[in-house]
Amino acid sequence: MKAASVTDYRELARRRLPRFLFDYIDGGSYDEVTLRRNVADLREVALRQRILRDVSAIDLTTKVLGEKMAMPVILAPVGLAGLNSRRGETQAVRAAESRGVRFCLSTVSACGIAEVRGAATQPFWFQLYMMKDRGFIRDLLARAATAGCTTLVFTVDLPLSGARYRDVRSGLSGAPGLPGKLRRGAQMLVRPGWLYDVGLNGRPHTFGNLTPLFGKRARLEDFFGWISDNFDASVSWPELQMLRREWQGQIVVKGILDAQDAQQAVALGADAIVVSNHGGRQLDGVPSTARALPEIAAAVGDRVTVLADGGVRSGLDVVRMLALGARAVLIGRPWVYALAARGQAGVEHVLQLIDAEMRVAMALTGCTSINDVDGRILVADEMRKPG
């Protein structure tokens, strides 16, 4: 099967990955209402088709937080991404560099900061979850700074992990001991390609950045229980102030769905925000990003860089997000599906597809520059109103 879209890569990933890993990527929380809304609402955003304009030279380049990018797309932080292909995060950072975009490494990656830095030739971003051990957090920040990370993405919408029923059914969580191991083992055995590439040759299987806390003999079955014990549910606005003192680079607050929260983040020194509902993986039933984005973008104006994620499956969706008020877009599932299917080459291809799809969408809306893409290319203002 030759992948011609993100949807094709999703199917290839489903065929290649053990069920517990595919469901971890693909699934959301509770009944996955918000997961579906993210995709459906974004697809409902109608664009104004314009004709007879010179669109022979389309420029996708932009600057995000002072960094030049070939297009306004960032590879979002995805937990355990390195288990989907051999040393997966190192492949992803190389793919991002080859296409001129930024990669953001998750706190809970399989490959640690130093390993990813060894695979990279340019700066990458680092995503942070706040943990109870503030000494470890300071050490983690120091490691990220030493690796040359320019931007810290502080994820704020995970004080507790959402109820992800697919992970329970697949045996990724809630299946301790021998029964859980047997269930996951059976899923691995029916995916021999993954078993050879990752299971046998993708070692060491650790939780990269968390090894000092978790240990080198980490067990997947313990991962979610460890998160519950170590992630800090008491985190509040003073932690953002602490990070502003500790981190010398740019700070992005990820997980904003409310205009008042966005304004508070700006007041406390955030350089950017990500309008996000964690890909529908946390509180189910909240608005889609497409619904929340316009009000939030209007509330903060030009005081902060507005980024967004959630439901993006094509370059056309990227253009829609920009029209709704984002300066750039983070993509998560699309790059991980491609990584699972074809490794670095797959991620590069997905970025190539997004580039081509953006060019078509911009040409047919009469835009030749990223700066031309704004609310004026929307057919009507329904999607610009609060949902």
Q: What is the mean pLDDT of each run of 10 residues along the chain (387 residues)?
A: 93 97 96 98 97 97 97 97 96 98 96 96 96 92 96 94 90 76 90 95 86 68 71 91 94 98 97 98 97 98 97 98 98 98 98 98 98 94 49
Tell me, what's the pLDDT at 171? 86
Tell me, what's the pLDDT at 204? 83
Tell me how far apart the alpha carbons of residues 278 and 310 are, in angstroms, rounded to a whole number: 7
Tell me, what's the pLDDT at 90? 98
| 102, β-bridge pairs | 74
Tell me how far apart the alpha carbons of residues 217 and 220 are, in angstroms, rounded to a whole number: 10
Tell me, what's the pLDDT at 381? 62
Measured torsion, CA atoms of residues 363, 367, 368, 373, in degrees rounded to the nearest 10:
-130
Tell me, what's the pLDDT at 180? 78
pTM of the model: 0.95
Q: Which amino acid is at 173?
A: S
Contact status, residue 85 vs residue 91, Cβ threshold 8 Å: yes
Give the closest residue to 356 by CA, choosing from 122, 104, 99, 76: 99
- In this structure, what token pair is assigned to residue 69? 């990018």
Tell me, what's the pLDDT at 382? 46
Characterize 12-37 residue by residue with b for buried, 16 or more Cβ atoms within 10 angstroms of its Cβ, and e for exposed.
bbbebbbbbbbbbbbbbbbebebbeb
Is residue 349 part of the annotated active site? The answer reads: no
Tell me how far apart the alpha carbons of residues 322 and 319 are, in angstroms, rounded to a whole number: 5
| 272, β-bridge pairs | 252, 305
Tell me how far apart the alpha carbons of residues 384 and 337 are, in angstroms, rounded to a whole number: 30
Q: Directed axis angle between helix 333-364 and helix 88-98, to 10°? A: 20
Give the number of other Cβ atoms within 10 Å of residue 384's Cβ.
Answer: 18
Contact status, residue 252 vs residue 152, Cβ threshold 8 Å: yes
Tell me how far apart the alpha carbons of residues 336 and 324 are, in angstroms, rounded to a whole number: 25
Tell me, what's the pLDDT at 387? 47
Tell me, what's the pLDDT at 119? 97
The model's pLDDT over 6-28, given as tens digits with 9 standing for 90+, comes to 999 999 999 999 999 999 999 99
Contact status, residue 171 vs residue 180, Cβ threshold 8 Å: yes
SS3 261: helix
Tell me how far apart the alpha carbons of residues 161 and 31 are, in angstroms, rounded to a whole number: 15
Tell me, what's the pLDDT at 173? 81
Q: Could you tell me how far CA 24 lies from the centroid of its own chain?
A: 14
Give the closest residue to 309 by CA, choosing from 281, 328, 323, 294: 328
Superfamily (CATH H level) for 6-367: Aldolase class I (3.20.20.70)
Burial of 354 (0-12, 13-18, 19+ CB in 10 A): buried
Q: Could you tell me how far CA 244 lies from the centroid of its own chain?
A: 22
Domain boundaries, the chain: 6-367
Tell me, what's the pLDDT at 160? 86
Tell me, what's the pLDDT at 219? 67
Q: Is the peptide bond between 72 and the residue preceding it cis, with omega within 30 degrees of 0?
A: no
Contact status, residue 286 vs residue 257, Cβ threshold 8 Å: yes
Tell me, what's the pLDDT at 208? 85
What kind and span of H or E run contains 192? Answer: helix 192-194
Contact status, residue 367 vs residue 316, Cβ threshold 8 Å: no
Q: Could you tell me how far CA 376 lies from the centroid of its own chain?
A: 27
Catalytic residue among 184, 278, 313, 359: 278
- In this structure, what token pair is assigned to residue 34? 């918000």
